[in-house]
Amino acid sequence: MDQLNLIRIFVAVADSGGFSSAARKLNISPPAVTRAINELESQLGVQLLARTTRFVRVTEAGSRYAEDCRRILGELAEANESVAGLHSAPRGHLALTAPVLFGAKFVTPIVTEYLRRYPQVTASCWFLDRVVNVMEEGLDLAVRIGHLPDSSMRAIQVGEVRRVICASPDYLRSQGTPTTMDDLSAHTIISATGVTPNPEWRLFNNGTMEAVRLQPRLTTTTNDAAMAAAVDGFGLTRLLSYQVAERLRDGSLVVVLADREPPALPVQLVHHEGRHASRKARAFLDLAVERLRSNPALNGTDVQR
């Protein structure tokens, strides 16, 4: 096997953290990946990966080599795109992921605008309320809400959202409006596990962040269902501000305990670093950054306090 293919396989293993995941990403067999790594290490006379039956870890030498290989592969992709004239016309398949509601409300209109602008591109959107591994699944970019761990990916912040507690006006008229954290224990709680995986809300109390343990009457895995139950007057729920922005504007939901909210969460576009971002991905990023940064629901001007 030529060395270019060997380093492509090595980088896939280093990025995905395993032989099987790299094989899936490259659509080759795991034994082929193993043979390629063995051949590359034999050529170089250096151990690039430390592996046991339980894990695969990049060695110190492998880490430096992987960084150089990523640069080489990125420059090659850049050269291929340039000679093919792709700087003026993105083409190929764009794959991205985002949370379900965010994808429906904000990403889909951007994707359709992008596809109309670039007719030689197709796209697939993974709208899921779980974190999808961009490298392992072969995606071009992702929308992430919240603070990110360190990685080889690059992030562009396009806005921020709040975690808001809200209820319908009818519910608040009949059950009263909570004004302190202690008041929450007397209220019916709707828990959306996509926003609050654990049955507690972390809120400010006298200048410090405290956890309020809850006993939800209703727990749902979808944010839409939690919002529908709150609009129906069943109880209090906590969702992200963009998810309830329309309901707050039309008055079917009202924010409570706004002064106890934790800091806002950043909304970020995560993509392959530097030259590893393809032309089609860079063109989408340029459009998405412009559209999302100008959206009132993501810059704090569209949700009541």
CATH number at residue 110: 3.40.190.10
CATH number at residue 13: 1.10.10.10
Domain co-membership, 184 together with 250: yes
Give how many domains the chain has, as a whole number.
3
Domain co-membership, 292 together with 176: no
Domain co-membership, 191 together with 237: yes
Whether residue 87 has pLDDT greater than 60: no
Domain co-membership, 234 together with 194: yes
Domain co-membership, 178 together with 253: yes
Q: Could you report the per-residue pLDDT of 7-66, keeping only the tens digit for each?
A: 999 999 988 888 988 898 888 998 999 999 999 999 999 999 998 777 788 999 999 999
Strands 218-220 and 189-192: parallel
CATH number at residue 172: 3.40.190.290
Res 191: pLDDT: 92
Whether residue 300 has pLDDT greater than 70: no
Domain co-membership, 168 together with 249: yes
Look at 78-82, 214-218, 246-250 and tell me which has the smallest mean pLDDT.
78-82
Range of the domain at 289: 92-160+266-298
The DSSP annotation for 138-204 comes to T-SEEEEES-----SEEEEEEEEE-EEEEE-HHHHHHH----SGGGGGGS-EEEETTT-SSSEEEEE
CB contact set of 250 (below 8 Å; sequence gap of 6+): none
Give the pLDDT mean for 100-115. Answer: 95
* Residue 156 · residue 285 · CB < 8 Å: yes
pTM over 0.85, yes/no: no
Residue 304 maps to a domain: no
Whether residue 251 has pLDDT greater than 80: yes
Residue 135 maps to a domain: yes
Res 74: pLDDT: 77
Domain co-membership, 21 together with 65: yes
Q: Could you report the per-residue pLDDT of 186-238, keeping only the tens digit for each?
A: 999 999 886 666 678 889 887 788 888 889 999 998 889 999 999 999 999 99
Give the pLDDT mean for 71-91. Answer: 72
Domain co-membership, 181 together with 254: yes
